[in-house]
A = this chain, B = another copy of it.
């Protein structure tokens, strides 16, 4: 494995792993106030497309990394959407 391949692999591990603590935090605290809905809409779609790119080019490391990330990002997005919907359903203060 070349140094550039190793750097890319470490980078992929870090960016994929990073969504675990955020997903765990959101699931535990149920607090999504500071989380941007638009960020997670764009990010989840983008990561899903990275997965499609991985399937099209048959690159397993890209498929696996993005499959894990899309699950975590979609969980955070789902809880955020539920919070936004609940907030809209409330009578005005």
Contacts and interface: CB of A to CB of B under 8 A. Distances in A.
B56 A3 contact: yes
A71 interface: no
A13 interface: yes
11 contacts: A7-B52, A10-B46, A11-B50, A12-B46, A18-B39, A18-B46, A25-B39, A29-B34, A31-B33, A31-B34, A33-B33
The binding surface of chain A is classed by DSSP as helix
A14 B43 CA distance: 6
Interface of A: 3-4, 7-8, 10-22, 24-26, 29, 31-36, 38-43, 45-47, 49-50, 52-53, 56-57
